Structure 1
Amino acid sequence: MCADTTDTTSLTPDYKDTLALPQTDFPMRAGLPKREPGWLERWETIGVYDRLRDRAEGRTPFTLHDGPPYANGHLHIGHALNKTIKDIIVRSHQMMGHDARYIPGWDCHGLPIEWKIEEQYRAKGMDKDKVDVVDFRQECRRFAEGWIDIQRDEFKRLGITGNWADPYLTMDYRAERIIAEEFQTFLMSGVLYQGSKPVMWSPVEKTALAEAEVEYHDKESFTVWVKFPVTDFSLPEADVSDEEMSDDEREAVASARAEAREAFVGANVVIWTTTPWTIPSNKAVVFGEDFSYGLYEVTDTPDECWAQVGDRYILADRVAGPTFARARLEDGMWRRVRDVTPAQLAAMTLAHPLAGAEGSGGEWNDPRDFRAADFVTDEEGTGFVHCAPSHGMEEYELYRGLGMLDRVITYNVEDDGSFRPDLPFFGGTRILKQNGKEGDANAAIIAKLVEVGGLLARGKIKHSYPHSWRSKAPVIYRNTPQWFAAIDRAVGDGQDTYGTTIRGRALRSIDELVTWTPRSGRNRLYSMIESRPDWVLSRQRAWGVPLTCFTRKGAKPTDTDFLLRDPAVNARILEAFETEGADAWYKPGAKERFLGTDHDPADWDQVFDILDVWFDSGSTHAFVLRDRADGTEDGIADVYMEGTDQHRGWFHSSMLQACGTIGRAPYRNVVTHGFTLDEKGNKMSKSLGNTVVPEEVVKQYGADILRLWVAQADYTSDQRIGPEILKGTADSYRRLRNTLRFILGNVAHYRPEDAVDPADMPELERLILNKLSVLDGVVREGYRSFDFQHVFQSVFNFATVDLSSFYFDVRKDALYCDPRDSLERRAALTVLDLLFHRLTTWLAPILVFTAEEVWLERVPGEGSSVHLQDMPDTPAAWRDDALAARADTVRAVRRVVTGALEEKRREKEIGASLEAAPIVYLPADVAEIITDRDTFATLCITSDIRLTTDPAPADAYRLPDVPGIAVSVVSAEGEKCQRCWKILPDVGTHAHPGTCARCDRALAAQS
């Protein structure tokens, strides 16, 4: 009889349909750009934000106060970063049990918008100053309204939640009323004063600027070495007539004095400056008391040199050589004649280089003050500094301290950067042209100095220079009458818990009331406020909230009755602003209306300067936190979150403003993010073509990818973004999406009635629950401390490593093949259900669209949304540190097994790991931990495994970092089960052909 050669496997039934394979419509490809708008519409329809407010009644409020962006252009990548961080903060705190409120807002006043309208006017050949101020303000308002609508839609497209139906606007009538009221608090408490000091001034925009409105760019400037002649030398008489001196000593001193006078008179003190335009306003020269100075004489000159043989110059010794080099005098062309002491310098009288110039009208004939000052350096320049206190704060402060301001302040420069028309030689010349380019003033001044012999050298220098961040034009320091808030004057409001002055309150608030993320933010703001001058509140513009005050005609700013402080007048102003907005200040008859019958309008001048826009935004705590029903009970925000530039901007102005009105900081936490750079770490610039536009990222990848980029970045430092980085972000998203898809596919088989109590679960499931317990703490603490990078990386690693690469890989067999009622399968499904609820809610603050998609795949319904859920509580009983410690040992041994299997796979000795039945050689202590060969074989995804404490053969596989463990891979014995693919000895001996015992039972249960 012939042998039977029939292929029995071809007669085995196809068991595929008997497996509990994943079932889900959740697509592998997200298609976010097309699908996200649908979720936005759905959230709008079901009113998620409002429903959260209704459900949150009784919860602890948590308020992130939104720093207002300007309503004047499309969003840039910094906006996307900023608003996404805020959104993650708000959503995460809501899902952790708070009533998390977010009221978006816009800064509507000030130069950013006013400048846009002026640009439109200039394009049409119109003069802004000839337009009715109320009409002009209305154009600014309409411009802002248009951009608010555009930006609102752009923010919403990023998935930002909030009260978009009722945002705050600094130009709302109610807001303008409260800003005016906050200003009146400064007025009535005595910290407001009018002063005249140098402030940063934009000649192009014709207004003062705050430090926050200035950015620094390289600028090429003229630089000059100017000669101030010594016209007299007179030591104090006591130096030459001391009664204790002998006649010979007295005669020697007198001779030395005469010698010094002969040496110094006719010499020149040389100053160096990069602002030649300030020379006409010079009133003094200062020197350093601790520097070494010398008198130098020119002994030879080259061609084309302004110095002449015999000229004498006084210079700091350290910089004498470089100074003469700039004058084209080489070594050997000059010599040091003698020392010059600080006392001798103080005895000199200097003349302005233009003194006595023909046609000067005596403008510069007064002697220049000459004294020591602590801000002089001998690191560069000449060791002397020319002082124009009208154009420099250090000089201003020096002479204010000396009580000499009335002798040194000038008003030579007009608001457009031109010199006053009657200034000799230079009247009408401009420091800057209207387009921000170099004017003709510097050239004219240098030419005149050359003409009168006042220059030693000249040149050009490229240096960092302040520019207006709006017009991009250079700014100047200019002395103008401005309104200031005195930050070291006692505030007369009785709110002295944290100090009596604005500065004192601010510094105490920084250390006692605010938590800083990162901590460096504290140091930055503290140092700024510690050293800052008084706050310049006034701007010479039209679009904003005016300084609602009146000054007595003929009175001096120092007079006690200079400012009108009348509560009744203030109340009338506020009442008008409430219904008409700040335009009421500019309408005909406004002065008479507000002064009423109590004050004669003829006695008072109405102030028409507008408030610094930073006062507007600094006041937002008053009309958003304190004034609104959805604000806070105490008017204090839990979080202010902005970019690092806001330490000199919104964080700063809000602190000063609140310390002047409520006596403390308006926030409990300050979170700061860095700047966004391109992939190479360069600053983004349209001219370089390296900008990343949020709208384009959303169109290509979807908003969730942009949000994921934010979550993956360390936002406390500068972040990088670009095509390759976004590709990497998209890859991380894809891996995470696959994990979520696996959960959805398998949890479709979950039935609540089959759930397994954690105490009855196998160790593998209890290990996952332990990890969930630990991770729950990590997630909550990360969100509470605003560390989203740590939150996402922890969840991502858990999802892709612990779950996808380990747990899912191990439990696929039980999920697909086990009988429906097996403990392993039911426990795994129970864990998957728990994973679903935690991963979706943990990720929802970051991946707002994807988390919603995952949620609705399993929990559909008209009003269903993951964003209406809280993060589930995690039972303390899930935590099992002892099990985790044992699991670390098991995972280490498993690594050796999988390493050995992979080696055999590379060598083509096996295909799938189920073809193997490894022998694992264990130390005795490890053998006490790993005792169940079937469970360990399941973990290693092999058909069988053998555990032994016998000595391992020399050729067994080992890993250096797992000492004492060795593995020999042998083939599994038996036949391949046609349902689960394990190779077992009992396959083919059961009722169902080609199956193992486990699969046979599963099939029997299905029949």
Structure 2
Amino acid sequence: MCADTPEYKDTLTLPVTDFPMRAGLPKREPEWLARWEKIGVYDRLREKEGRTPFVLHDGPPYANGHLHIGHALNKTIKDMIVRSHQMMGFDSRYVPGWDCHGLPIEWKIEEQYRKKGRDKDAVDVVDFRQECRKFAAGWIDIQREEFKRLGITGNWADPYLTMDFHAERVIAEEFMKFLMNGTLYQGSKPVMWSPVEKTALAEAEVEYHDKESFTIWVKFKVTDFSLPDMVLSDEEETDETRGAVALAKDAAAHDFIGAHVVIWTTTPWTIPSNKAVVFGETFEYGLYEVTDCPDECWAAKGDRFILADKLAADVMARARLEPGKYRRVRNVTPAQLSGMTLHHPLAGAEGANGEWDAARDFRAADFVTDEEGTGFVHCAPSHGMEEFELYRDLGMLDQVITYNVMDDGSFRADLPFFGGTYILNRKGGEGDANKTVIDKLASVGGLLARGKIKHSYPHSWRSKAPIIYRNTPQWFVSVDREVGDGQDEMGKTIRTRALNSIDQLVKWWPQTGRNRLYSMIEARPDWVLSRQRAWGVPLTCFVKKGALPTDPDYLLRDPAVNARVAESFEAEGADAWYKDGAKERFIGDAASPDDYEQVFDVLDVWFDSGSTHAFVLRDREDGTPDGIADVYMEGTDQHRGWFHSSLLQACGTKGRAPYKNVVTHGFTLDEKGMKMSKSLGNTIVPEQVVKQYGADILRLWVAQTDYTVDQRIGPEILKGVADSYRRLRNTMRFMLGNLHEFDEAERVDATDMPELERWVLHRLAELDHVVREGYKTFDFQGVFSAVFNFATVDLSSFYFDIRKDALYCDGADSRNRRAARTVLDILFHRLTTWLAPVLVFTMEDVWLERFPGDDSSVHLVDFPDTPADWLDEPLAAKWSGIRKARRVVTAALEVQRRDKVIGASLEAAPVVHVRDKDILAALKSVNFADIAITSSVSLTNDPLPSEAFRLPEVEGVGVVFEKASGEKCQRCWKILPDVGSHDHAGTCGRCDKALG
């Protein structure tokens, strides 16, 4: 398709474009960013009138540190959602935001203080908070530029920040709604506590890592035994039966008193806080006696231990007692266990000052298992939720709660033997408390065995240090109390509102997100709001001195007080709470300030981010009329994080979920499917990818992956993405080159186009539905896959390949050429806009190559409407058969090319045998030689010869190779009998006519 002679070459209409094959994205992308900012693309989109608002509410990243690959994935998906909905006709708004309060920033400032030898507690709290504010602001500026570099569109000039004064005001107001609606209360229960950070943690702030822990088997001595008298009927009650019962009781007492119930724990430090032991009501227990004992074990001959039968052999092995060294003496029933009195192993220890002398409670509990351990569980209700709930329901908390562990993880100073020891050291490593407890138990004969175990254990995701469960006074929102606000459409409690919202108001992408969050809400405890830190929004409430938390007047509930707090926060920020005279100023004449104490705990940062719907969606002009977002989109970890806290918060204040759709993405792994880690050296940093390839390659990786599950990225994967990009760029370059100087006068109406062009229009109509539905349902992989396959298979490898001849060689007024150029124009407008939400820079480059101008941008236009009458199923079915036949011809010619029989397909004139009469008729109705890119073709219904080339997957079509006869046209290279018989030497009839 290229002339042999210079004079004929100049007569061809070859592609003309300056669009480069090499994209040069790393260098050129910043130029487009600057251009978009200069012409105000985002603001100009907002000026389009009459559009339905569509708002994706940004889950705020934390203002601390450079972006990682998870940030890039997250923000790119959001950007695709926003841009695609804008181009589908919505007013698609995006306000980026940042989470600014909380422990990570506070921790950084404390680190700076420690390096300078400063004591945080000696610094004025307002000055300290200002340092935190300044630190957060610095990282916001850095992250903003990093996000913008990825091509993320949005209102970057006016983002939302949880530390803005208005935001702090609204967060406080939202908290005070719980204060006023009766769901806020102060309670004391075990919470996840970070001794290193000295604060309570939420579930979302905890991650699980393997940890090696001490494990011990501890002996609780049976000091007494009694059973209630057996009730006998008159007939049964005889001297003989009474005597037998008495003998049985005496025998049991003889066997049990002095024996030991054995417990197992991986937290030796909780033993000083033990208040009880519990057993399983349905398990089989036995009394085991040591008959022989090696020197190295902590048991002695004659010792008796009560154990679950299923676990006894394992326990004895841990105690270094082999089979034959012990025997099972008798059964132990649950009723008999209930009659035993147990004492703590430290009871009566010299120097214990009676700390552990009281008998331990001993009863059945349904959380005991016989899968590991001993069949008994030691209970320290101050450090375990199941034990806490058991004794709470029994009304016995006042008898079992201890306060032995301080906020830094040390034992209270006056605790015998252990006072001042630490569970963890300052950096989160093993402290001295566990060893001290174990050594003391060993010295008083309280140990049966000890060891170590490696298990999954909760850690703070910020400090990476292990956490503990610790009973502390905290502020909670009840999820099961009736909310006194009258917004009962979804239910009367936060839990019922949340569960009903999940099922009735929200769509989940993927649906598994619904199941995960529903089960979490269904089983979750009350929400712990308070943190014992300084950098955050305080719990703006006052408690009455001398009153109990259960007293009705314990909390000061006064609208005027709340209003004064809100007004001050709007003007001064939350720092107003900490200024001298704040209590007196806020309480005013509502009550005597001397009668109340001011609460200085700060709100959990998840409450901050959970409240963003109020000060972003509700309060901003670019929010939503009802304060409800169309979409929340975050990683799957946010089912226990932002999705969760936003749902709880809004259900308590709005009565319903703050979102209509929840989209979830998975985590990013390396190419081998391993979690990324700096220590492994397998991290992929977005900045490095952008410098090497450009942001569009990173965006294309996002579009090609199934983000709903964990996805992989690495050097080889990125090379594959770059290859896909080059193929797509080739397609766009072909269109640009062949649309040079296209004008409306050339346009051909769809009804006047050849079948091949109408088939392309049919495919576009199909794709239009796929693209719009895909973008609507957040299926970017589906959209890109469909468009990419169309561009590279249907277009580059089929339509473009066929129409090159007409585009290059036909005359300017040729119907085929004009139709092809019209189709290229239609393709251009659809492919550039359909791909613009993904390849934001490249499609802008393509668009400006054709439509330059100071105000021009592909991002200012919508997806073109596609006429419904372009769909033509009968035509599509016909061309499906034509394409199948073409595949057989192409494959047959490839064999001849491989064997060097021919150099190009135009040297062939194959004979095509077609069994199916309909397909044969279809091939005869079109210029199949042009479709097959041969100089001529013969079509026949004759039986397939044995030597005919076949493809197994295309039945009934065979090809017999024949060389084309005639001379080669020096202009189009077709070999035809008429070449040389026209006015222009060495040309075919078509080329002679084109030359005029």
What is the TM-score of this pair, normalised by structure 2? Answer: 0.99
Cα contact 1:197–1:481 (8 A) shared by 2: yes
Q: Does 1:458 align with 2:450?
A: yes
1:532 paired residue number: 524
Counterpart of 1:702 in structure 2: which amino acid? G
What is the TM-score of this pair, normalised by structure 1? Answer: 0.98
Match of 1:39 among 32, 49, 72: 32
Cα contact 2:881–2:919 (8 A) shared by 1: no
Question: Secondary structure of the residue that 1:14 maps to in structure 2?
Answer: helix
1:964 shift after superposition: 1.4
Match of 1:549 among 541, 547, 563: 541
1:145 shift after superposition: 0.3
- What aligned pairs does 1:905-916 form with structure 2 within 5 A after superposition? 905-916=897-908
Question: Secondary structure of the residue that 1:737 maps to in structure 2?
Answer: helix
Question: Secondary structure of the residue that 1:695 maps to in structure 2?
Answer: helix
1:458 shift after superposition: 0.5
1:757 paired residue number: 749
1:912 shift after superposition: 0.5
Cα-to-partner distance string for 1:242-298 (whole Å, 9 max, x where unaligned): 884222112111110111011001000000000000000000000001111000000
1:641 paired residue number: 633
1:283 paired residue number: 275
Cα contact 1:390–1:479 (8 A) shared by 2: yes
Cα contact 2:610–2:645 (8 A) shared by 1: yes
- 431-440 vs 553-562, which deviates more? 431-440
Q: Does 1:773 align with 2:771?
A: no
In structure 1, C-alpha distance between the alignment counterparts of 2:23 and 2:916, rounded to whole Å: 50
1:50 paired residue number: 43
1:924 shift after superposition: 4.8
In structure 2, C-alpha distance between the alignment counterparts of 1:157 and 1:924, rounded to whole Å: 57
Match of 2:288 among 276, 284, 296: 296
2:579 paired residue number: 587
In structure 1, C-alpha distance between the alignment counterparts of 2:400 and 2:819, rounded to whole Å: 86
Q: Does 1:936 align with 2:928?
A: yes
Cα-to-partner distance string for 1:664-693 (whole Å, 9 max, x where unaligned): 000000000000000000000001100000
1:953 shift after superposition: 2.0
2:180 paired residue number: 188
2:673 paired residue number: 681
Q: Alpha carbons of 1:243 and 1:703: their partners in 2 closer, same or farther (altered >3 Å)?
A: farther
1:411 paired residue number: 403
Q: Does 1:235 align with 2:227?
A: yes
In structure 2, C-alpha distance between the alignment counterparts of 1:209 and 1:476, rounded to whole Å: 10
Match of 1:100 among 78, 89, 92: 92
Match of 1:144 among 107, 123, 136: 136
1:4 paired residue number: none
1:489 paired residue number: 481
Counterpart of 1:393 in structure 2: which amino acid? M
Q: Alpha carbons of 1:453 and 1:492: their partners in 2 closer, same or farther (altered >3 Å)?
A: same
Question: Secondary structure of the residue that 1:465 maps to in structure 2?
Answer: strand
2:829 paired residue number: 837
Cα contact 2:279–2:365 (8 A) shared by 1: yes
Cα contact 1:844–1:851 (8 A) shared by 2: yes
Q: Does 1:886 align with 2:878?
A: yes
Cα contact 1:240–1:250 (8 A) shared by 2: no
In structure 2, C-alpha distance between the alignment counterparts of 1:82 and 1:10, rounded to whole Å: 51
Q: Sequence identity, in percent?
A: 77
Q: Alpha carbons of 1:242 and 1:976: their partners in 2 closer, same or farther (altered >3 Å)?
A: farther
1:751 shift after superposition: 2.0
Q: Does 1:421 align with 2:420?
A: no
Q: Does 1:154 align with 2:149?
A: no
1:630 paired residue number: 622
1:354 shift after superposition: 0.4
- 120-129 vs 769-778, which deviates more? 120-129
Match of 1:24 among 17, 24, 38: 17
Counterpart of 1:510 in structure 2: which amino acid? I
Cα contact 1:240–1:253 (8 A) shared by 2: no
Counterpart of 2:777 in structure 1: which amino acid? S
In structure 2, C-alpha distance between the alignment counterparts of 1:13 and 1:174, rounded to whole Å: 73
In structure 2, C-alpha distance between the alignment counterparts of 1:887 and 1:10, rounded to whole Å: 31
Residue segments in structure 2 that go unaligned for 5+ positions in a row: none
Counterpart of 1:807 in structure 2: which amino acid? Y
Q: Alpha carbons of 1:382 and 1:240: their partners in 2 closer, same or farther (altered >3 Å)?
A: farther
In structure 2, C-alpha distance between the alignment counterparts of 1:750 and 1:932, rounded to whole Å: 32
2:434 paired residue number: 442
2:254 paired residue number: 262
In structure 2, C-alpha distance between the alignment counterparts of 1:268 and 1:305, rounded to whole Å: 16
In structure 2, C-alpha distance between the alignment counterparts of 1:576 and 1:543, rounded to whole Å: 18
Q: Does 1:14 align with 2:7?
A: yes
Cα contact 1:12–1:994 (8 A) shared by 2: no
1:517 paired residue number: 509
Q: Does 1:600 align with 2:580?
A: no
Cα contact 1:491–1:501 (8 A) shared by 2: yes
Match of 1:430 among 406, 412, 422: 422
In structure 1, C-alpha distance between the alignment counterparts of 2:107 and 2:825, rounded to whole Å: 57
1:701 paired residue number: 693
Cα-to-partner distance string for 1:212-270 (whole Å, 9 max, x where unaligned): 00111111111000000001111112457988422211211111011101100100000
Question: Secondary structure of the residue that 1:90 maps to in structure 2?
Answer: helix
1:3 paired residue number: none
Q: Does 1:857 align with 2:857?
A: no
Cα contact 2:3–2:9 (8 A) shared by 1: no
In structure 1, C-alpha distance between the alignment counterparts of 2:356 and 2:337, rounded to whole Å: 21
Cα contact 1:782–1:791 (8 A) shared by 2: yes
Counterpart of 1:52 in structure 2: which amino acid? L
1:933 shift after superposition: 7.0
In structure 1, C-alpha distance between the alignment counterparts of 2:24 and 2:200, rounded to whole Å: 50
Cα contact 2:878–2:919 (8 A) shared by 1: no
2:780 paired residue number: 788
- Paired residue total: 995
Cα-to-partner distance string for 1:732-779 (whole Å, 9 max, x where unaligned): 000000000000000114221111111110010000000000001000
Cα contact 1:430–1:440 (8 A) shared by 2: yes
Counterpart of 1:733 in structure 2: which amino acid? Y
Q: Alpha carbons of 1:743 and 1:801: their partners in 2 closer, same or farther (altered >3 Å)?
A: same
1:84 shift after superposition: 0.2
Cα contact 2:882–2:923 (8 A) shared by 1: no
Cα contact 2:917–2:941 (8 A) shared by 1: no
Residue segments in structure 1 that go unaligned for 5+ positions in a row: 1-8
Cα contact 2:3–2:971 (8 A) shared by 1: no
2:795 paired residue number: 803
Q: Alpha carbons of 1:11 and 1:31: their partners in 2 closer, same or farther (altered >3 Å)?
A: closer
1:907 shift after superposition: 1.7
Cα contact 1:419–1:430 (8 A) shared by 2: yes
Q: Does 1:177 align with 2:169?
A: yes
Cα contact 2:914–2:920 (8 A) shared by 1: no
2:158 paired residue number: 166
In structure 2, C-alpha distance between the alignment counterparts of 1:149 and 1:106, rounded to whole Å: 11
Question: Secondary structure of the residue that 1:756 maps to in structure 2?
Answer: coil
Q: Does 1:995 align with 2:984?
A: no
Cα-to-partner distance string for 1:969-999 (whole Å, 9 max, x where unaligned): 1111110000000001111111111101100
2:566 paired residue number: 574
Counterpart of 2:465 in structure 1: which amino acid? A
Cα contact 1:933–1:945 (8 A) shared by 2: no
1:11 shift after superposition: 11
1:355 paired residue number: 347
Q: Alpha carbons of 1:13 and 1:797: their partners in 2 closer, same or farther (altered >3 Å)?
A: closer
1:834 shift after superposition: 0.2
Q: Alpha carbons of 1:722 and 1:817: their partners in 2 closer, same or farther (altered >3 Å)?
A: same
In structure 1, C-alpha distance between the alignment counterparts of 2:584 and 2:62, rounded to whole Å: 34
Cα contact 2:487–2:654 (8 A) shared by 1: yes
Cα-to-partner distance string for 1:442-488 (whole Å, 9 max, x where unaligned): 11111110111000000111111111111111100000000000000
